[in-house]
Amino acid sequence: MDDTYRKLIPMLPGPEYRAAFMTECFELTYHGGGGFSWSEVWEMPVSHRRFNIKKIKEHLQKVQELRDQQNQVVTEKTDMSKFKIPDHVKQASKDFEFVSKVKPKK
């Protein structure tokens, strides 16, 4: 293996650590909104990586909470139990019988 290549790859103690390290690098470059390059994250100290991941996680949780609140408002506005369906419509839907023009396969 080339010495320059060895300098680029940090010495990692085991496959579990390497998988965790690679996951952290991916999450920061993917969810970082373009704020981090792969090489920056690769060279970043562990404490800085963990801090940034924690902040991104907090931000994504706040965004999810806002989405849940908005979905609740939309659900409340479109609650079907609040609509009064006229009796003649209910009766017509019970009397309606669907007849298919498609012949069943034998």
Q: Which residues have CB under 8 Å from 50's CB, separation 6+?
A: 24
**Average pLDDT in the chain:** 78
pLDDT on residue 54: 92
**Residue 59 is encoded by which pair of tokens?**
């931000």
Distance, in Å, from the CA atom of 31 to the CA atom of 60, rounded to the nearest integer, reads: 9
- C-alpha 74: how far from chain center: 20
- pTM, 2 dp: 0.55
- Angstrom CA distances, 33 to 26, 27, 28, 52, stand at 12, 10, 8, 12
- Say whether pLDDT at 8 is over 90: no
* Tokens 């965790």, residue located: 20
